[in-house]
Amino acid sequence: MAFDVKRILVGVDDSDDAILALDYAINLATSANSELVIVSVLESDEMNVFQALDKDYIHGEREELEQHILKYQKKAQDAGVQNVRCVVTEGDPGETIVGEVIPAIKPDLLVVGAEAKSGISRRFGSQAAYMAKYAPITVTVVR
């Protein structure tokens, strides 16, 4: 019995591993004719207290992230993925993806990079482990 992957969720930031995860998810979505959902999480714990209280700052950061994720969407479309959509949310990446995004999107597979870009989010390695442990679906960690 083959594993049927109708919807793939891929978590991205700007890290090299996340780009590898995106490429992996794009190739899989293309070959399996799956829907691809690209998610990025705006991490509020990376902001200082003044930035977190400044709605204009958060809006600007979110807007920048939303614009950036559209480049990933175009990359997937250019590679031949027929059905691609993007989700931008806020919070802790692992907890938000497992607790909010997966229940809302209902993917068959989650693809994430092993490590994140920098700073606090460098914990994405531990975030990847968290998602692999707690996600109610199959998780592929790309390195």
For helices 16-32 and 55-78, the axis angle rounded to 10 degrees is 50
User: Is residue 20, in this structure, part of any structural domain at all?
Assistant: yes
User: Is residue 65, in this structure, part of any structural domain at all?
Assistant: yes
Task: Please report, for residues 10, 47, 70, the alpha-carbon distance to residue 113 in angstroms, rounded to integers and kept in the order given.
Answer: 9, 22, 19
pLDDT (tens digit, 0 to 9) for every residue of the chain, 143 residues total?
457 899 999 999 878 899 999 999 999 999 999 999 999 998 765 555 555 555 665 556 778 888 889 999 999 999 999 999 999 998 888 999 999 999 999 999 999 998 865 544 444 458 899 999 999 999 999 98
20 contacts 72 by C-beta, under 8 angstroms: no
| CATH code of the domain covering residue 87 | 3.40.50.620
User: Is residue 16, in this structure, part of any structural domain at all?
Assistant: yes
Query: At a CB cut-off of 8 Å and minimum separation 6, what does 109 contact?
Result: 5, 7, 8, 9, 28, 137, 138, 139, 140
Reading the block at residue 14, the tokens are 């700007």
**Which residues span the domain enclosing 63?**
7-142
Look up the pTM and report it.
0.86
Alpha carbon 127 to its chain's center: 11
User: Is residue 100, in this structure, part of any structural domain at all?
Assistant: yes
User: Is residue 73, in this structure, part of any structural domain at all?
Assistant: yes
Longest CA span, the chain: 53
User: Is residue 134, in this structure, part of any structural domain at all?
Assistant: yes
Number of domains in the chain: 1
67 contacts 40 by C-beta, under 8 angstroms: no
CA distance 113 to 22: 8
User: Is residue 1, in this structure, part of any structural domain at all?
Assistant: no
How much is the pLDDT for 124? 44
User: Is residue 2, in this structure, part of any structural domain at all?
Assistant: no
